């Protein structure tokens, strides 16, 4: 049912875009009530406007904390026009109907990002505004609620095309938007207040949504929720897909482990190539050596600027995505030679410290695995101790195995990934897979190091590694049979180091 707007209540924090709306309402003879700064803005725009106090006969009190919380305001919004009893009381108590509510909320989230004091934040918790929004949204049968300046264009279009009238479908849609805004607002306040407590509930709210072409497979719908522009700028290429995003996430998490110039190549969320070298072009060449077959169509990431010579080498490979903190102009010109190639300039951003996923009929949440460890946390388990170069390789391999699907084994030397065995149901199978891959690409395992994401339940893995030429092993430790692996290493002049930290990744 179409309803004409006769009376409006307007009280907003942000005034941009409001002038056109009030002018249009004035054209249709709508009576406008307003508060404080919004009243002054409308009046100064030359539009006839009434104060809320003229309706309630009550002033704004407590520093503006109480302005609109009054029966004549909420009664005008909430009374049901088709309910005889409501109409009778509306007449009895002289409550004027309010058909349109334009109210936004104090900027709590924006103030929080400014590291404001708690007193300032508390004053940005809206009470009257959110109450008005909820009231108007509840009575969508009779009232249109506009709860964000982002909706002004849509409102203006409705006013012009329908001559100041609204349909039930439109009012219901705006009500849904209003509850979306109010629920997000309350969630952000709760999360702030719960920082010093531990009320164990799952509450997340993300307003930005990006519809993706499809999900993991073409028959699956998918959406990315979040502000992806905070993470990187897309300089070139096609639309980013669901699978691209998964690989990009894995790539960024991996590269963040390294301070020295490093290149990594990922496929299906796992590194198939990675190397650290003072010369970034050399780092690329070494990274590619590990598995040039898997690198085809992969995601490439580096933590240093890509220059012309580096881009010339990279451009020899077909790949989907490249991510770097910067690119020289010459490098961009080379890399942009492929129309669909996605080129991303990474930004500094805050990585969420909680991870969650849907399982069964609910959600599991965990802390992000921020433990990798350096030399301070190492326990030298064997009689033979590693050299400084071996320690660097062991830590390098441990960073890689942390970001590989379990069961995972990584083989490395001279800060270069030689091969990895990932996602196997047996740790022995993961090791055999890694050894076979290294052989396939003629990469020597002599004096290489091995990293395992979890402990060795038996000595079989260190025996196989030793027979392949591997000289040092890093693992979490903690097996009741650790001694068997240590004894084998001691008997065969091998090195074993434990970290005390497991890195399962499923």
pLDDT, residue 293, reads 96
pLDDT, residue 198, reads 85
**Which residues of the chain are under the pLDDT cut of 50?**
none
For 318, phi then psi, to 5°, come to -80, 125
Cα-based angle 341, 220, 230 (whole degrees, multiple of 5)? 50
pLDDT, residue 196, reads 84
Asked about 191 being catalytic, the answer comes back as no
Among candidate residues 70, 172, 236, 268, the one labeled active-site is: 268
pLDDT, residue 342, reads 97
Let me know: does 390 contact 401? Beta carbons within 8 Å. Answer: no
Q: Which two tokens stand for residue 16?
A: 């941009």
C-alpha distance from residue 127 to each of 78, 104, 108, 139, 377 (Å): 17, 11, 12, 19, 50
pTM equals 0.88
Cα separation, 487 vs 437, in Å, equals 28
Cis peptide, bond prior to residue 174, ω within 30 of zero:
no
pLDDT, residue 62, reads 82
Let me know: does 35 contact 52? Beta carbons within 8 Å. Answer: yes
Let me know: does 104 contact 13? Beta carbons within 8 Å. Answer: yes
Asked about 197 being catalytic, the answer comes back as no
Among candidate residues 138, 150, 191, 236, the one labeled active-site is: 138
DSSP, res 377: G
């Amino acid at each position: 049912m179409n309803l004409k707007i006769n009376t409006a209540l307007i009280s907003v924090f942000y005034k941009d875009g409001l002038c056109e709306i009030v002018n249009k309402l004035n054209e249709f003879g709508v009576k406008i009530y307003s508060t404080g700064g919004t009243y002054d803005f409308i009046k100064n725009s030359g539009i006839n406007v009434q104060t809320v106090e003229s309706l309630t006969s009550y002033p704004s009190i407590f520093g503006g904390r109480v302005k609109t919380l009054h029966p004549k305001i909420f009664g005008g919004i909430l009374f049901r026009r088709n309910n005889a009893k409501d109409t009778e009381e509306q007449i009895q108590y002289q409550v004027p109907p309010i058909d349109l509510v334009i109210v936004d909320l104090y900027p709590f989230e924006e103030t929080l990002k400014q590291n404001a004091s708690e007193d300032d934040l508390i004053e940005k918790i809206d009470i009257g505004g959110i109450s008005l929004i909820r009231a108007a949204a509840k009575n969508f049968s009779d009232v249109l609620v506009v709860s964000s300046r982002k909706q002004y264009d849509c409102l203006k279009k409705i006013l012009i095309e329908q001559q100041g009238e609204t349909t039930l479908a439109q009012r219901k849609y705006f009500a849904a938007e209003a509850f979306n805004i109010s629920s997000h607002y309350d969630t952000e306040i709760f999360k702030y207040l719960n920082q010093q407590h531990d009320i164990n509930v799952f509450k997340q709210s993300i307003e930005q949504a990006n519809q993706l072409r499809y999900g993991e497979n073409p028959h699956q719908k998918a959406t990315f929720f979040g502000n992806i522009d905070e993470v990187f700028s897309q300089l070139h290429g096609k639309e980013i897909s669901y699978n691209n995003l998964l690989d990009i996430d894995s790539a960024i998490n991996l590269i963040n482990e390294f301070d020295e110039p490093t290149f990594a190549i990922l496929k299906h969320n796992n590194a198939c190539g990675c190397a650290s070298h003072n010369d970034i072009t050399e780092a690329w060449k070494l990274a590619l050596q590990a598995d040039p077959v898997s690198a085809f169509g992969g995601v490439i990431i580096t933590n240093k600027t890509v220059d012309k010579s580096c881009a010339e080498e990279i451009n020899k490979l077909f790949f989907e995505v490249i991510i770097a903190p910067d690119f020289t102009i010459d490098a961009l010109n080379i890399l942009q030679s492929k129309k669909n190639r996605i080129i991303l300039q990474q930004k500094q951003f805050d990585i969420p410290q909680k991870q969650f996923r849907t399982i069964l009929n609910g959600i599991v949440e965990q802390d992000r695995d921020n433990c990798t460890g350096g030399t301070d946390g190492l326990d030298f388990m064997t009689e033979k101790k590693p050299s400084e170069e071996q320690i660097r390789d062991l830590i390098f391999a441990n960073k890689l195995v942390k970001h590989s699907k379990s069961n995972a084994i990584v083989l490395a030397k001279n800060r270069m990934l030689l091969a990895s065995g990932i996602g196997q149901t047996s740790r022995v199978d993961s090791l055999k897979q890694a050894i076979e891959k290294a052989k396939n690409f003629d990469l020597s395992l002599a004096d290489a190091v091995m990293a395992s994401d979890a402990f060795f339940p038996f000595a079989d893995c260190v025996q196989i590694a030793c027979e392949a030429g591997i000289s040092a092993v890093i693992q979490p430790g903690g097996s009741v049979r650790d001694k068997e692996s240590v004894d084998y290493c001691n008997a065969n002049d091998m090195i074993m180091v434990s970290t005390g930290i497991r890195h399962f990744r499923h």
